[in-house]
Structure 1
């Protein structure tokens, strides 16, 4: 029997009567799902805490707790967070940032090979998305700056810390009231070194053979860059915020010499990457499209526009979000709202 989805694990906490007996029995006897349930429980507690404006998030303590977990459990947490990073939470918390500042790359005379110019959905069954390897399964990933998410005392402090201005909401949707809490997402970063040997091992585990890497790709290094950012969050009586408006400096990738197309074409040639995912990625025009991965069982995505710019609308349960890129910044509006309400807020920002 397949493992229940993350959504089912979370539903077991929030609405246990809504989980089928077969899933409930599987979870009760499956160590992997028990660990997943613990992660979901931790996520719920974290979200409940972070949406309280009177509580400061101790990021250092959280990282210490994570880094001291046994490697197997740490891998499970990272896997769960990967699914979170593909979700609308990316827009609210800026948690999609995995990278270091552009200044370091410029100082080393590295070449910028990718700058996010738009966000587009990549949809597939959860079972297919689960086959996509983590980045460290292609080489060595070094997190140089960890994700740093903290509350700010007000809009001015948040804007000064992020170096960005947050647009104002023209009219709050029905059911949303009061003043928001403000949060700052600091720069975060990573460097990555491709490895033919690591990629070959990953392919072998999937029962496949990795083709030879193009000249120069094995051992090539990259710096990924995104952030900082900020968000305004109107809390609700539930875990999901009533409304959140966020902005974060869009991700960039810097290379010591290998062009973006070489990386993209090699990765999409790997036979163990799901064919439907590859087809969607190859369909992106240009080099500036940031994919937003969505499981068809859990999320509905559609293409729309905000201010004449391409945007992606995501609906997952009672959460709706719209994301778009403008002037090198990812913008997002999300919350426990309808699609029309989210789009009205987004298109009315000033």
Structure 2
């Protein structure tokens, strides 16, 4: 017998009389379902506590905290609680909506010195990550040193004209707002941010030893090689409800670009995907992009989100929808710029906004 769905497990908590005797008997004798039921009970408790009183939300401060979390270079602080932070973040429609925008942050800076450009984004493709794999995923700092070299400095500005002046990225016009969204947006901008990752064979060997496996021989020149990712500037229009909760976000960022101090992308990716500790299902999906140099993988937590593809303005687009139907987002790349539309809306509503965007000429 198949395991009952997440919806059935939640109904056991909220409306047990609506669950069949067969499903109840299965759950009572299935360790996997009992564990999932405990997680659902914890989620319900968190949601109840969060809704006990109206939230006072500071959108700008929340966005700043999210970006600091994504780019936190401190391995001691990042490694242990990272999975818990993402599980909590993806339970929140507000944080998840902002994450859709922040995670596809772009880059357009020219390489400096002897940096070799190894990646530029022409398209985005979803990569599904199971909950168990997400928990097991090693932190990047386990394989080397991560240094944030430029901060994003996300902040609110007065109007669209100032946002364009600061970032050089004009926002499209939204001709028709979806139901429940009204008023004028506020505008958030972010400066360019950059990080440098230095691969360490010694650190990777420690990970391999902990997994009880030998470390594959690194390609010549990989040990100590640096990889640089620049992101931004970016701009977002945010339509918020009375308490500051985003009802709709339309954002644009220059598409991500990565550089290397010497190693080619395909060489680095082939080796990194062979290292112990990376879940095989995830590695298999990422291998599809080996040597591509133009496709940006977008991680999707399969427990909370589903992903699909469609077209927006003639370009391939990725649609993300929360499994509870509360949140949706769509993201695509056009002429070197990433555009994202997200909010606590249906996928059809988000796509209607995206396809209706107009650029003033």
TM-score scaled by length of structure 2? 0.75
Task: State the 1:13 CA deviation.
Answer: 3.2
Paired position in structure 1 for 2:310? 304
Match of 2:320 among 305, 314, 324: 314
Paired position in structure 1 for 2:349? 341
Distance (whole Å) between structure 2 residues aligned to residue 173 and residue 130 of structure 1:
36
1:6–1:266: structure 2 CA closer, same or farther, 3 Å change rule?
A: farther
Paired position in structure 2 for 1:12? 45
What does the per-residue CA deviation read over 1:44-83, in whole Å, with 9 as the maximum and x for residues that have no partner?
97x92116xxxx78969x97xx99xx97555455555666
1:252–1:332: structure 2 CA closer, same or farther, 3 Å change rule?
A: same
Distance (whole Å) between structure 2 residues aligned to residue 268 and residue 242 of structure 1:
38
Match of 2:130 among 117, 121, 125: 125
Secondary structure of the 2:182 match is coil
Match of 2:288 among 283, 286, 306: 283
Q: Which runs of 5+ in 1 are unaligned?
A: 19-43
Q: Does 1:212 pair with 2:220?
A: no
- State whether residues 142 and 203 of structure 2, in contact with CA within 8 Å, keep that contact through their aligned partners in structure 1: yes
Paired position in structure 1 for 2:151? 146
Distance (whole Å) between structure 2 residues aligned to residue 102 and residue 306 of structure 1:
26
1:158–1:284: structure 2 CA closer, same or farther, 3 Å change rule?
A: same
What does the per-residue CA deviation read over 1:82-110, in whole Å, with 9 as the maximum and x for residues that have no partner?
66599553333x3554x98734x33x031
Paired position in structure 2 for 1:102? 109
Task: State the 1:188 CA deviation.
Answer: 0.9
Paired position in structure 2 for 1:24? none
Runs of 4+ in 1 over 4 A off after TM superposition: 1-11, 56-60, 70-88, 237-240
Alignment of 1:224-243 (within 5 A): 224-236=229-241, 241-243=246-248
CA RMSD in angstroms comes to: 3.5
Distance (whole Å) between structure 2 residues aligned to residue 244 and residue 234 of structure 1:
6
Distance (whole Å) between structure 2 residues aligned to residue 5 and residue 150 of structure 1:
39
Secondary structure of the 1:15 match is helix
The structure with the larger Rg is: 2
Distance (whole Å) between structure 2 residues aligned to residue 58 and residue 96 of structure 1:
14
Secondary structure of the 1:48 match is coil
- State whether residues 129 and 295 of structure 1, in contact with CA within 8 Å, keep that contact through their aligned partners in structure 2: yes
Matched length = 311
Paired position in structure 1 for 2:170? 165
- State whether residues 100 and 145 of structure 1, in contact with CA within 8 Å, keep that contact through their aligned partners in structure 2: no
| Higher deviation after alignment, 323-332 or 238-247 | 238-247
Q: Does 1:327 pair with 2:335?
A: yes
TM-score scaled by length of structure 1? 0.78
What does the per-residue CA deviation read over 1:167-196, in whole Å, with 9 as the maximum and x for residues that have no partner?
111211111110011101211111111111
Q: Does 1:293 pair with 2:299?
A: yes
- State whether residues 191 and 223 of structure 1, in contact with CA within 8 Å, keep that contact through their aligned partners in structure 2: yes
Q: Which runs of 5+ in 2 are unaligned?
A: 1-30
| Higher deviation after alignment, 78-87 or 280-289 | 78-87
Paired position in structure 2 for 1:27? none
What does the per-residue CA deviation read over 1:6-37, in whole Å, with 9 as the maximum and x for residues that have no partner?
9976653332599xxxxxxxxxxxxxxxxxxx
Secondary structure of the 1:242 match is strand
What does the per-residue CA deviation read over 1:103-162, in whole Å, with 9 as the maximum and x for residues that have no partner?
4x33x0311101121111111311112222222111111111123211111111111111
Task: State the 1:308 CA deviation.
Answer: 1.7
Secondary structure of the 2:217 match is coil
Distance (whole Å) between structure 1 residues aligned to residue 355 and residue 196 of structure 2:
36
Paired position in structure 1 for 2:58? 49
Paired position in structure 2 for 1:34? none
What does the per-residue CA deviation read over 1:276-325, in whole Å, with 9 as the maximum and x for residues that have no partner?
11111122372211111112111111111211211111112411000111
Match of 2:185 among 158, 180, 187: 180
- State whether residues 217 and 258 of structure 1, in contact with CA within 8 Å, keep that contact through their aligned partners in structure 2: yes
1:82–1:13: structure 2 CA closer, same or farther, 3 Å change rule?
A: closer
